[in-house]
Amino acid sequence: MFPLSLFVPFLLPFSYLCLELPFWVSFCGISFIIWRLVGDFFKFAQPSKKVTGGLSTIGLVMVIVGFETLVGRDAAGSFLFLLAGLKILEYRAQEESPFLILLGLFLCCTVFLFSLNLFWSLGLGASILALAYQLIPLNVRKNTPTTAVNIFTKTVVTALPLTFLLFFFFPRFTNHFRNFAGSGLSKIAQSGSSDRLDPGAFSEVRENKKLVFQAEFLLGKKNTRDLYWRGDVFTTPTGFSWKKADVSKNSQIPLTESAPAHHSTPDYRILLVPQESLEFASSLGNQENLQKENQARIFTLDETDTVHSHFSQIIMQPDRTFRVSPAPDKTLEYFGTIEYKTPTEKSAEEYLTLPPKFPDRVKSLVASWNLKELSPEQKLEKILYFFQNEKFHYSLRPGHGGQMNLEKFLFEIREGFCEHYASSLALLLRATQVPARVVGGYQGGTFNEYGKFWMIREKDAHAWVEYINSKGRWTRADATNIVAPLRLEIGAEEYFALPAELQILKDLSDSINSFRQKKSFFLIFRFWLEGLNYRWTSWLLNFDLAKQKEILKDLQGKLPVSLLVTFAFLVLLSLAVHIHQLRIQKNESLEDKYLNQILSWKEFEGIGLHRSLGPREMLDLVTTRPLLKHQEVLSQSLSQFFETYMQIAYGSQFELRPLLKSQFKTLRKLHRKL
């Protein structure tokens, strides 16, 4: 029967890896475990080691074929997962536990490669401790559990100081080992970007609370209204939809860490979740382009000049969107610095292109506005006034994009989500000869007061427009600000939580504020947990060689103090040990105290008296040693002492203690004469 105490610590790493590894790996691993459990329950014979050995060979081949490598988190993790399942299946005797325990420890480490989440870390920490506990022999754990727990606790507690010492001071050398994993990584870490924007796509993710990234401002706080996170830029209209321009690799600008002075104080920091799991990304169409390049999109604020990351290369596109290479398969940390620079586009012609079959009705509308002599800002104002005046609505259910076109939207339906307004605004601006483009990304977010960071979720997905203003600068324009300004003011999560009658309001009112202040305990608790997890993840990601050097530098300055503290600690420790020893000695019985004193007298060492001897042996020794035959008084006194000692210690004749005391005094006198 497979021991439950050994099985339970495996549950957590198994359950996590099931969700992260390919389906066939999870299926096989779980099947092996179920096979074992069913076999134990119905007392079937388990497969022999030859069978499990054959299965593990097949598993190895399948992993190598499937991942094209055995090196790398996913390939190695899959193989370990299968191996652990097979090992559980073939487990026969207690002697096989240690190898299984080592496998379990490795599995737990594999989970850490996927996630740094605080709560998973705590759970896996408990699993690791439970596995290490299983190394204690079964007879000790079963027969004397108290002893087993004591020794385990003592070992863990004693090991912790060295652990922390190594953790803080063992040098962290960065290594691009992952790059050697080859194509195995690129297959799994999909970039999650797209070359197309279809109106209606964003609204499909409005219910999704999945976290996209977390942002922390290092210099001052920002308002929700000002947070526009740029992801993709769409420049080519196809009807009501938009496509991205083809960007050749040659036009990309790799940013290096040496790009610099800007890096000294970045404006914000972002922790980005791997984009494979993002619905927003996957809902927007094919992802072939970026997959081929093994790049992933990252999100930056307006007018971000520089982005840098410690472990990945950041690439800037001509449209000032950024990519990271290689595409991350775990949380990515990067920093952004805001400083506007002049656009790099040589020509604005591509931003004036209208779709084929541009509706005549729309052309007539634009012509009726007489905007030829106006500046781009004035033209924008006119268009926005049109949206406001014609009572356009912000709708969470605007209908399928295929049924909607520009003409219908502007003249009939007149309600839509952010992408409808962005698309129509950009087309109208182009129709008035203002270069414009649509930007997809996220707007706003939820501020976590406990961690002081912003959480941007899928439901914060947003689209807006950028146009070239009269100064030749790309400037943001958001029609949502006219039709649903509250959405930009308070963020998507709070906005969509409002009742419908409050959503149509244009500004914050008392009724909205009082609604917003009603935060459930669950929400507060969730924020607190998220804040804790954020701090934990940030610290883990941030702790590197630079941080270690910083700590050492600090310590150098505080060396005398730290030495003093260390010295004081050692003194206190030795004092505590000494007091403890004294306490032990206090528990020593009177007869043992006398005996120990006698044995400490150097003169008696020559006789051969030693602590390792029993009192009977000592008695025999003193009565037979030739040396003592010439010192009969001494011999007699020692014999009497030992006999009395044995009567007290083994015969419990405690009433003889006064006699022992007097015998001891006699011996002491004789000893002084020696």
Partner 1 sequence: MTLFKNTPRTYILPTKIGLFYGVALMLMLMVGFGYSNNLVFFVCFFLTSFGTVAMVFTNQNLQKLDLQNFGARPFFADERGEFFLSVLPRSNHDLINITVKYETFQKLIEKIPAKIESTINLPIMSSERGLHKLPTIRVESTYPFQLCRSWKTIYPLQEYLVYPSRLGSPHFPGQVDGTNKNKLTSKNKSDEDFGGVKIYEKSDSPRRIDWKSTARTREMQVKMFDSKEGQTLIFTWEQTQELASFEARISQLALWIDLAEKSRSVYQLILPGFKSELSQGLNHWQSCLRSLALLDSAHVST
Under the criterion CB under 8 A, does residue 162 sit at the interface with partner 1?
A: yes
Cα–Cα dist 307/317, whole Å: 12
And the tokens for 354?
């209208």
Q: Which of 33, 82, 128, 307 binds partner 1 (CB under 8 A)?
A: 128
Stretch that binds partner 1, among 34-42, 60-68, 147-155, 197-205 (CB under 8 A): 147-155
Closest CB to partner 1 among residues 77, 440:
77
Cβ(419)–Cβ(461) below 8 Å: no
Under the criterion CB under 8 A, does residue 113 sit at the interface with partner 1?
A: yes
- DSSP, collapsed to helix, strand or coil, labels residue 101 as helix
Closest CB to partner 1 among residues 23, 170:
170
Question: In the sheet where 313-316 sits, what is the strand order?
Answer: 253-255, 313-316, 322-325, 296-298
Q: Which of residues 535-564 bind partner 1 (CB under 8 A)?
A: 540-541, 543-544
Q: Which of 26, 52, 56, 121 binds partner 1 (CB under 8 A)?
A: 121
Closest CB to partner 1 among residues 76, 88:
76
Is 372 buried (19+), middle (13-18) or exposed (0-12) by CB count in 10 A? exposed
Cα–Cα dist 430/351, whole Å: 7
Q: Minimal CA–CA distance to 263: which of 332, 336, 320, 339?
A: 336
Cβ(622)–Cβ(599) below 8 Å: no
Under the criterion CB under 8 A, does residue 7 sit at the interface with partner 1?
A: no
CA 140 to chain centre: 37
Closest CB to partner 1 among residues 161, 560:
161
Closest CB to partner 1 among residues 104, 199:
104
Under the criterion CB under 8 A, does residue 611 sit at the interface with partner 1?
A: yes
What is the contact mask toward partner 1 in residues 510 to 539, using x (rule: CB under 8 A)? ------------------------------
Closest CB to partner 1 among residues 545, 571:
545
Stretch that binds partner 1, among 163-171, 217-225, 313-321, 503-511 (CB under 8 A): 163-171
Residue ranges in 115-251 assigned as alpha helix (H): 118-133, 138-143, 145-169, 183-188
| Angle at alpha carbon of residue 642, lines to 640 and 648, rounded to 5° | 105
Cβ(362)–Cβ(407) below 8 Å: yes
Which residues make Cβ contacts (< 8 Å) with residue 430, sequence separation at least 6?
Answer: 237, 351, 352, 353, 354, 436
Under the criterion CB under 8 A, does residue 625 sit at the interface with partner 1?
A: no
DSSP 426-477: HHHHHHTT--EEEEEEEE--EEETTTTEEEEEGGGEEEEEEEE-TTS-EEEE
Closest CB to partner 1 among residues 332, 413:
332
Query: Parallel, antiparallel, or unpaired: how do β-strands 228-234 and 436-443 relate?
Result: antiparallel
Under the criterion CB under 8 A, does residue 576 sit at the interface with partner 1?
A: no
Cβ(245)–Cβ(237) below 8 Å: no
Residue 465: strand pairing partners: 438, 477
Residue 450 main-chain phi, psi, to 5 deg: -75, -40
Stretch that binds partner 1, among 22-30, 97-105, 280-288, 566-574 (CB under 8 A): 97-105
Under the criterion CB under 8 A, does residue 73 sit at the interface with partner 1?
A: yes
Under the criterion CB under 8 A, does residue 163 sit at the interface with partner 1?
A: yes
Under the criterion CB under 8 A, does residue 175 sit at the interface with partner 1?
A: yes
Under the criterion CB under 8 A, does residue 573 sit at the interface with partner 1?
A: no
Under the criterion CB under 8 A, does residue 649 sit at the interface with partner 1?
A: no
Under the criterion CB under 8 A, does residue 93 sit at the interface with partner 1?
A: no
Under the criterion CB under 8 A, does residue 636 sit at the interface with partner 1?
A: no
**How many residues at the interface with partner 1, by CB under 8 A?**
56
**In the complex, minimum distance from the CB of residue 180 to partner 1, in angstroms, rounded to a whole number:** 8
Closest CB to partner 1 among residues 6, 233:
6
Element at 503 (helix H, strand E): helix 500-503
Closest CB to partner 1 among residues 174, 344:
174
Stretch that binds partner 1, among 312-320, 385-393, 480-488, 612-620 (CB under 8 A): 612-620
Cα–Cα dist 667/641, whole Å: 9
Stretch that binds partner 1, among 188-196, 363-371, 570-578, 614-622 (CB under 8 A): 614-622
Site residues, partner 1 (CB under 8 A): 73, 98-99, 102, 105-106, 108-109, 112-113, 116, 121, 128, 132, 135-137, 139-140, 143-144, 147-148, 151-152, 154-156, 158-163, 166-167, 170, 172-175, 177-178, 311, 540-541, 543-544, 584, 608, 611-614, 617, 621
